[in-house]
């Protein structure tokens, strides 16, 4: 079945350092989404990438979708303590017959800790 792998599982950084998490799918994706979950909170949608090679920026966050549409990355420049949380990538679940009702396959998440 479809698998979405995410690395690293944990990342500890000093405030001000950069951070990157990588996402790899076993299948080609029509799009990839990124969610952030603060400790004790719920996943919050950050962004969706659709096009091959697409790069999008949100302030200090840079999201990239690979040319083959099977991998993606999230890079945070100069981390702040407010960046703490778990970052999940998610891709549409592939289904026989093409109907998946928008179900997502989540990566395992990267837990980011930022030390002040």
CB of 108 to other proteins, least distance (A): 6
Q: Counting contacts by CB under 8 A, is residue 1 touching other proteins? A: no
Q: Counting contacts by CB under 8 A, is residue 44 touching other proteins? A: yes
Using the contact rule CB under 8 A, the part of the chain among 13-21, 44-52, 58-66, 67-75 near other proteins is 44-52
Q: Counting contacts by CB under 8 A, is residue 104 touching other proteins? A: yes
Q: Counting contacts by CB under 8 A, is residue 41 touching other proteins? A: yes
The smaller minimum CB distance to other proteins, of residues 68 and 95, is found at 95
Q: Counting contacts by CB under 8 A, is residue 85 touching other proteins? A: no
User: Which tokens sit at 85?
Assistant: 């949380």
Q: CA-CA distance, 105 to 24, in Å (whole number)?
A: 11
The smaller minimum CB distance to other proteins, of residues 48 and 77, is found at 48
For the sheet containing 19-25, what is the strand order? 4-7, 19-25, 71-76, 61-65, 55-58
Which burial class, exposed, middle or buried, applies to 78 when counting CB atoms under 10 A from its CB (0-12, 13-18, 19+)?
Answer: exposed
User: Which tokens sit at 108?
Assistant: 């395992």
């Amino acid at each position: 079945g479809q698998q979405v792998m995410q690395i690293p599982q944990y990342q500890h950084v000093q405030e001000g350092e950069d951070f990157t998490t990588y996402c790899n799918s076993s299948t080609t994706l029509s799009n990839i989404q990124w969610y952030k979950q603060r400790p004790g909170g719920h996943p919050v949608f950050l962004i969706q990438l659709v096009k091959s090679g697409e790069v999008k920026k949100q302030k200090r966050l840079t999201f990239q979708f690979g040319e083959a549409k099977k991998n993606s990355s999230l890079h945070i420049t100069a981390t702040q303590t407010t960046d703490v949380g778990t970052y999940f990538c998610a891709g549409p679940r592939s289904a026989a017959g093409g109907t998946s009702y928008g179900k997502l396959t989540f990566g395992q998440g990267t837990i980011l800790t930022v030390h002040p």
